[in-house]
């Protein structure tokens, strides 16, 4: 089996679970916009504990139901596609942490990753 890698970018957007955009969870709006933009993929991960700019710790370990847990939206694609998507986050007025990291996209079987067009 031949495995190839291609350069890529990982965009991570950290927001609160209760952050909303037009009565819809912000993380869901980010995923749907990434899909419409033709990005290779997006996943949402719910955190069990964290804090942000307010320094208020949110946790799922308390006896009462926790609210506003941290959520990470992770998107991986070519650099051009991810950078072209960044203005969408400005439009959504995302107040969470946004990071962009260079990465390698692994293509098992020698299949090429989605080409940037």
Query: What confidence tens digit (pLDDT) does each residue in 103-113 have?
Result: 999 987 766 55
pLDDT in tens, 27-60: 999 999 999 999 999 999 998 888 777 777 777 7
Q: Thinking of the domain 3-108, which architecture would CATH place it in?
A: 2-Layer Sandwich (3.30)
Note the pLDDT of residue 111.
Answer: 60
How far apart (Å, rounded) are the C-alpha atoms in residues 95 and 113?
31
Write out the two tokens for 53: 């700019």
pLDDT at 71: 94
What per-residue confidence (pLDDT) applies to 116? 42
For 84, phi then psi, to 5°, come to: -65, -25
Number of H helices, E strands in the chain: 2, 8
The pLDDT of residue 52: 77
Mean pLDDT estimate for the chain? 87
Residue 10 bridge partners (DSSP): 76, 101
């Amino acid at each position: 089996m031949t495995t190839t890698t291609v350069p890529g970018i990982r965009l991570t957007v950290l927001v609160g679970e209760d952050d909303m955009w037009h009565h819809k969870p912000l993380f869901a709006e980010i995923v749907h916009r990434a899909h419409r933009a033709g990005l290779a993929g997006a996943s949402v991960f719910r955190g069990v504990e964290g804090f942000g700019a307010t320094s208020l710790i949110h946790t799922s370990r308390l006896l009462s139901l926790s609210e506003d847990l941290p959520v990470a939206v992770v998107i991986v694609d070519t650099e051009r596609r991810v950078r072209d998507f960044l203005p969408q986050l400005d439009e959504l007025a995302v107040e969470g942490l946004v990071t962009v990291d260079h990465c390698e996209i692994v293509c098992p079987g020698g299949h090429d990753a989605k080409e940037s067009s």
